[in-house]
Amino acid sequence: MLRFEIRKRTWDGTATGHITVAEKAPDPKDYPRALPKMLRAGSLVFTQPKSVSGPDISQWWTFKFGATWRRPLSGLSDLRGKLDHPVVHVAWSDANAYADWAGMDLPTEAEWELAARGGSEDTEYAWGNEFMPEGLAMANTWQGTFRH
């Protein structure tokens, strides 16, 4: 039986000095042709589009300088009213640093899969072997024509 322990602790990086990937300016050696003004810390921010045409992600994701977990929309945005929202602008290495600080580990891919399946290993999907039993969607899957 799987058991997960959740401890309530506050971690803002100040206790450990950890700086998230989104808070770090890119290394110019990694981007030799980049303009210096572009080598600033930031992250992608989602904006719901009115319509979508084709697969270009820039229709709904925009890189914003200064977007971090503390400032999710960049600029003067903050965490007020968002403490029950999922954390954003956090890379795997940041989550791993938090887990280390909390005395825990991130699950491996196999552990995550087992937990997501509720312990079931003998079925194709977590709910059984049929993708849509009796025509019912059992997962958040797209149905219909994608907007364009």
From residue 114, give the alpha-carbon distance in Å to each of 3, 83, 119, 139: 12, 28, 5, 16
Is residue 147 predicted with pLDDT exceeding 80? no
DSSP, collapsed to helix, strand or coil, labels residue 73 as coil
> If you ran DSSP here, which 8-state letter would residue 86 be given?
P
Contact 48, 147 (CB under 8 A): no
Q: For the chain, what are the domain ranges?
A: 21-48+64-130
d(CA 20, CA 29): 19
pLDDT in tens, 70-97: 999 999 999 999 989 998 999 999 999 9
pLDDT in tens, 30-76: 999 999 999 999 999 998 888 888 888 899 999 999 999 999 999 99
Specify the pTM: 0.69
